[in-house]
Structure 1
Amino acid sequence: MIMRPGQQQLLLPVSPLFIWGSLLLAMLLNMLPLGRIAWFPDLMALAIVFWSVHQPTRIGIGVAFVFGLFMDVHQAAMLGQHALSYTALSFFAIMMHRRLLWFSMFSQALQLLPLFALSHFVELGIRMIGGGVFPGWNLALAPVIEAVLWPFVSVLLLAPQRRTPEPDANRPL
């Protein structure tokens, strides 16, 4: 199939094992001790937004809520802090997923920056209401880093879907 410039390649169906594996890997990476640094990006939130945008029928608000509870329990945070944040992220990502996919990766990252900032603001608000300590203004770097990581995560997580189903020497794609 010859594609004109500006057209997107048709993607193969994504494997459910790949979706769940990437979500579990993101959760495990979030559980590393580096996640306690205030400016460290929330990789779980990034994965939830990615799959909520690209597979909204498979990964939705319920999955985001459950993974948020797992992160709350792991970080000994107030129960529901990450759950509410991830649920809001998933809701807004699903709400804007059709419009978002029309833009380039960098435009998507700019449009998702307020979403990531809202997520961190919700977590901070719940933490402060519960009597937590303010982590400092470097917390504002995390949404920016997550937005910068968006194109890399998109390319990485869409790579298995870009293969040809039956590769041969006569087909250039």
Structure 2
Amino acid sequence: MTQPNYILLPVNPVFITFSFVVAFLLNFLPWGGLLGVPDFVALVLVFWSIHQPRKVGIGLAFTMGLIMDVHDSVYLGENALAFTVLSYFAITIHRRVLWFTPFAQSLHVLPLFILAQALQVIVRLIVAPDAHFPGWLVFSQSLVTTILWPLATLILLAPQKRAVDKDHTRPI
């Protein structure tokens, strides 16, 4: 254990809300159909479901999924189903994931992002009469979202790492 262990301050619910608003605004940007654009809402949802499972749960995931369904103009419930499953499995593995470094955590959350995206593709294939498989490159979104996991961890945990009173004689 070469890294210092921080005793984290309690998370502010206003900061959780702010992080979701920023994630929604990033998802709402017109990326122009670029391949591999990360799903910022899914990233923030998984992060808070792992770090604060009592404050961010399946109900919030469902609500955010409905908002993304309306924004993306997709079948109502496609993102809601994916985000609900994503939040459920993130809460299921949250104790295990927190033992690892952010880079190792990204290996644990990669299957979650792929599963959520696969659910979205399956729903489109089942519901749409003329739908066809979009190809394997569609899963590059999950890979890019996973690559952003350590950066998201650094940014979203930063307000909790501040010392309330600085004392240079204590190591923690």
Structure 2: give runs of 5+ residues left out of the alignment: none
Matches within 5 A, 1:1-173: 5-6=2-3, 8-34=5-31, 36-131=33-128, 132=131, 134-167=133-166
Q: 2: distance between equivalents of 1:48 and 1:72?
A: 16
Normalised by the length of structure 2, the TM-score is 0.91
Matches of 2:35 and 2:28, distance apart in 1: 14
**TM-score if structure 1 supplies the norm length?**
0.91
CA distances 1:65-114 after superposition (whole Å, capped 9, x unpaired): 00000000011100000000000000000000001100111111011111
The whole-number CA distance in structure 1 between the counterparts of 2:124 and 2:30 is 19
Using the TM superposition, give the Cα deviation of residue 55 of structure 1 relative to its aligned residue in structure 2, in angstroms: 0.4
Q: Which amino acid aligns with 2:12?
A: S
CA contact (8 A) 1:35 1:42 kept: no
Distance apart, 1:172 and its partner CA: 7.1
The amino acid that maps onto 2:68 is: M
Contact 1:52–1:93 (Cα < 8 Å) also in 2: yes
Count matched residues: 170
Q: Root-mean-square deviation (CA), in Å?
A: 1.9
Shift of 1:134: 4.0
What is the percent sequence identity of the aligned residues? 46
For residues 58 and 170 of structure 2, the distance between their equivalents in structure 1, rounded to whole angstroms, comes to 40
Query: For residues 137 and 169 of structure 1, what CA distance do their matches in structure 2 show?
Result: 52
